Chains A and B, each alone.
Chain A
Amino acid sequence: MATKASRSAARMMMAPAVILLLGWMLIPLVLTLFFSFKKFLPLRGDRWENGLEWVGFENYVRFVSSSAFWPSVITTLIIVGGVLVITVCLGILLAMLLDQPMWGQGIVRILVIAPFFVMPTVSALVWKNMFMDANNGLFSHLWRLFGAEPVSWLSEASLPSIILIVSWQWLPFATLILLTAIQSLDSEQLEAAEMDGASPLARFGHIVLPHLSRAVTIVILIQTIFLLSVFAEIFVTTGGAFGSRTLTYLIFQRVLESQNVGLGSAGGVYAIILANIVAIFLMRIVGKNLDT
């Protein structure tokens, strides 16, 4: 059907996108790998065009053995895990609620989805100042109303605060995808189960949840990819202080703040490997879906 001419035309049409993405992937990746094996401190006069000292795996070893490494890994896991649990659990409940008949469904949907469209720096600053500030934040007003001592959230409970901010941003995404999945559920099956006397909990456990499992997996994988590189929310709120330094933030500090490029690049390679482990699972699901 497709002629030879149209095949080569097709290849030509694909070429710009493929070449650009290939360059975008390979050039920085090769440079990061290259720097990770070098001693590279631009502030002390190291220039890449003058040649850099080869240090083997020293950067890799130093990055992992620095006292900041394990805390940053744990922080990353807590933030990613916390946000995932909150967004997926609330997302399922919210999607099921929004699937019910009600008045003004369209408006409620708009209200629920809105946080996703707020730029990260705005949501971080609004939460930080107008809600979590110990003197003038709404939470502190509320605490005082009940006679409690206001908490300076971002320094005393930095991780829960950041988890709250990031969850607020990602709950709409989880809800929207799970809602799309729920709407494809065969309602007759649910009605039949109800007729047979299955309790709401049983219907949820045996029909709704299995139907949602694929969508939940996809939400988890996609969010994990994005959450591993959460940056602006930490940059704006705590600047990595008070135990809120994630792996991404640690690498950022090594590379741009203390300008230890070799060490930061080794960290970058770790981050790339970590993201790829998650990505492989995601790609497998997406790939399967392409066949059908």
Chain B
Amino acid sequence: MARSTTTRRKIITTAAAWAIGFTIFFPILWTILTSFKTEAQAISDPPVFLFFDWTLENYAVVQERSNYMRFLWNSVIIAGGSTVLGVLIAVPAAWSMAFVPSRRTKDILLWMLSTKMLPAVGVLYPIYLICIELGLLDSRIALVVILMLINLPIIVWMLYTYFKEIPGEILEAARMDGASLKEEILYVLTPMAIPGIASTLLLNFILAWNEAFWTLNLTAAKAAPLTAFIASYSSPEGLFYAKLSAASTMAIAPILILGWFSQKQLVRGLTFGAVK
């Protein structure tokens, strides 16, 4: 009796959850499906879901016409460069805060977090002006540095929470055995820290990839990443649903896949350890 009710309940829960999950995912699914249609099928009424002539033509056209590869490459450089640079700067900082804490560690951490709260639009013109003065408007370097700086607080925080979980006794034991600071870092900490560093890299790569304030405002033709490339489709003359879908699918597919691996880090990285 009890068992049948729980089974029935499980069936209902499963059906409800799948229905809701499907609904939430639908816009993405629809974009992916549309990318394989012809332009006529993409706007047909009633809409066709699966039974159309699948074609890869849109992908070929987008690649040919728009230098898609250059935008993709810009995205890779900007997101990858800013993330790696940020982690290189943050690892020593987070390491020292986690293992040699002082009275001020907490204040420094909170202050770093507070820089993240600065609304971008409030400092838009100064940054714009600095980029012009340095000749870095529409350059990948400027965006690598800026995205590194806006994500640095999150990177430090994430690494700090990961490093905190490494038991201090292990370090003491290493010190007892006469390990120097360098050896301690190289042979004891690094192997234990690698999973945390990898998660941090992953989440921040995603955040930088999707950043759409500075990338839209500080780039034009040369350094524009995929966010800006997609935005250029909003002009009416460029409106072709199937091609828009193909371009969108290519822009989000790699991140969707990476994102699925980073679900857990998302909570840690974006709540600053306040929800565990």
Give A residues with C-beta under 8 Å from B: 1-2, 6-7, 9-11, 13-14, 16-18, 20-21, 24-25, 27-29, 31-32, 35, 48, 94, 97-98, 100-105, 107-123, 125-131, 135-136, 138, 141, 144-145, 168, 171-173, 176-177, 180-181, 184, 214-215, 218, 222, 225, 228-229, 231-232, 235-237, 248, 251-252, 255-256, 261, 264-265, 268-269, 271-272, 274-276, 278-279, 282-283, 285-287, 289-291
Is the beta-carbon distance between B122 and A272 smaller than 8 angstroms?
A: yes
Given the complex, which residues of A lie within 8 Å of B252, measured CB to CB? 117-119, 122
The 8 Å CB contact of B100, one of A2, A125, A184, is A2
A119 neighbours in B (Cβ, 8 Å): 209-210, 212, 226-227, 230, 251-252, 255
A-B contact pairs, 10 of them (CB 8 A): A102-B13, A111-B21, A115-B27, A117-B258, A168-B24, A168-B27, A172-B24, A231-B216, A232-B231, A286-B272
B side interface size, CB within 8 A: 96
Please tell me if the beta carbons of B213 and A236 are within 8 angstroms of each other in the complex.
Answer: no
Chain B residues with CB under 8 Å of A228's CB are 119
Provide the main secondary structure of the chain B interface.
Answer: helix
| A120 vs B252: C-alpha distance when bound (angstroms) | 10
Once the chains bind, are A110 and B260 in contact (CB under 8 Å)? yes
Q: Is the interface of A mostly helix, strand, loop or mixed?
A: helix
Select B96's contact among A11, A120, A256, A282, beta carbons within 8 Å. Answer: A11
Q: Are A271 and B260 in contact (CB under 8 A)?
A: no
A1 vs B153: C-alpha distance in the bound complex, in angstroms?
A: 28
User: CA A20 – CA B218 in complex, angstroms?
Assistant: 20
- Which residue of the partner chain, among A118, A125, A232, contacts B256 with CB atoms under 8 Å? A118
Are A255 and B125 in touch, CB under 8 angstroms? yes
* In the bound complex, CA of A251 to CA of B245 (Å): 32
Structural contact, B108 and A18, CB atoms closer than 8 A: yes
Does B122 contact A141, Cβ atoms closer than 8 Å? no
Closest to B239 in A: A129
Q: Are B270 and A222 in contact, CB atoms less than 8 angstroms apart?
A: yes
- Give min CB distance, B224 to chain A, whole Å: 11
The yes or no answer to B50 lying at the interface (CB within 8 A) is no
B117 at the interface (CB under 8 A from A): yes
Query: Considering the complex of A and B, which 4 residue pairs feature the smallest CB-CB distances, nearest first?
Result: A117-B259, A13-B92, A28-B123, A10-B96
**Of all chain A residues, which has the CB nearest B267?**
A180
Contact present for B263 and A268 (CB under 8 Å): no
Answer whether residue B234 sits at the interface, using C-beta atoms and an 8 A cutoff: yes
Question: What chain A residues lie within 8 Å of B210 (beta carbons)?
Answer: 117-120
* Residues in B neighbouring A172, C-beta threshold 8 A: 24
B residues less than 8 Å from A108 (CB atoms): 17-18, 20-21
Interface stretch of the complex, out of B39-47, B60-68, B186-194: B39-47
The complex places the Cα of A104 from the Cα of B16 at a distance, in Å, of 12
Instruction: Report Cα–Cα, A279/B118, bound state, in Å.
Output: 9
Known A120-B227, A264-B124; further 13 A-B contacts with Cβ < 8 A: A24-B149, A29-B123, A112-B25, A138-B47, A171-B24, A232-B212, A232-B231, A251-B121, A252-B124, A255-B128, A264-B125, A283-B110, A290-B110
Q: Is B55 an interface residue (CB 8 A)?
A: no
Q: Mark out the residues of chain B between 118 and 155 whose CB falls within 8 Å of any chain A CB in the assembled complex.
A: 118-130, 149, 152-153
**Is B198 part of the binding interface, using a Cβ–Cβ cutoff of 8 Å?**
no
